[in-house]
Structure 1
């Protein structure tokens, strides 16, 4: 499948909202917010979100099918760090490399802003997502027990980091 990756902005808010709602509905265990919290938010909420954060998306025939974003720590002592959030790839685009390309775009952008490490959290039972992050150079450094409570179950979250001043396994940056 042929797709194009580009940075998202406020004009992508409606599509971004739709993809986020799909993600939250189909994988509630993967996100800190819930579908019920998100569905009532107006498109203007997502316009602000895309203005304040760095987000990339994968498009197939002008349809947004994969997303990822990061936000930077604001304090002077932690401004070298950013958090990857809102990663999601629609089923029809999985296995095509779009998520990996989005992560690389996020890493390149972060690096250009002086950020030297990306952090993220992934559900400890989300094996496919963990493998994808490991392939992108992330390493687990801890576990937050009972991070989320979804569908009457606690979910531990693995905390992962990618050091942008070190090349991922098998790559030279």
Structure 2
């Protein structure tokens, strides 16, 4: 089941985020080590989940949150036609079950409801599976940010991808 997360989901959402930081460390700007040191992380999650400028969707299987994705709207009038997909993550326990597809579909539907014309995202360039996944929705790479992430002394490029909706 896919639903828009709200403040009542803050704890399970934060737990899933921590899992993502630990499981796929180079996929996120945050690190697990930084995240666990954060003061009041549940309050931060509640703030995000109640924000008027973002929509976070969660995928539940048997009552357990197994994936999430956030649509972030622009705060600037001149960029209000664009939104960003952030924090996309599916637990290894739920991969290959269509969870990611349903999350991206929910984000696309919400983007259209918000009047967006394009959705953008960033994916580590060597993550061929993720890039192929996004291409199934029509996302195209429009650029590469060299050395976008530096993790444990190693640099990773990111593909900048867009979907015109």
The TM-score normalised by the length of structure 2 is 0.94
State the 1:50 CA deviation.
1.0
- Report runs of 4+ in structure 1 exceeding 3 Å deviation: none
1:44-83 map, 5 Å: 44-52=43-51, 53-83=54-84
Match of 1:21 among 18, 23, 34: 18
SS of residue paired to 2:79: coil
Shift of 1:136: 2.0
- State the secondary structure of the residue aligned to 1:74: coil
How do residues 18-167 of structure 1 correspond to structure 2 at under 5 angstroms? 18-41=15-38, 42=40, 43-52=42-51, 53-164=54-165
SS of 1:77 mapped into structure 2: helix
CA-CA distance at 1:35 after TM superposition: 1.3
**Unmatched runs of 5 consecutive residues or more in structure 1:** 165-173
Instruction: Spell out, residue by residue over 1:58-77, the C-alpha distance to the aligned partner (whole angstroms, 9 max, x if none).
Output: 10111000110111111111
Give the deviation of 1:135 after TM superposition: 1.2
Q: In structure 2, what is the Cα distance between the partners aligned to 1:38 and 1:137?
A: 33
Q: Secondary structure at the match of 2:78?
A: coil
TM-score (norm 1): 0.90
RMSD: 0.9
SS in 1 for 2:12: helix
Cα deviation, residue 40, structure 1? 2.7
User: For residue 12 of structure 1, what is the aligned residue in structure 2?
Assistant: 9
Rounded to whole Å, the distance in 1 between the matches of 2:117 and 2:98 is: 23
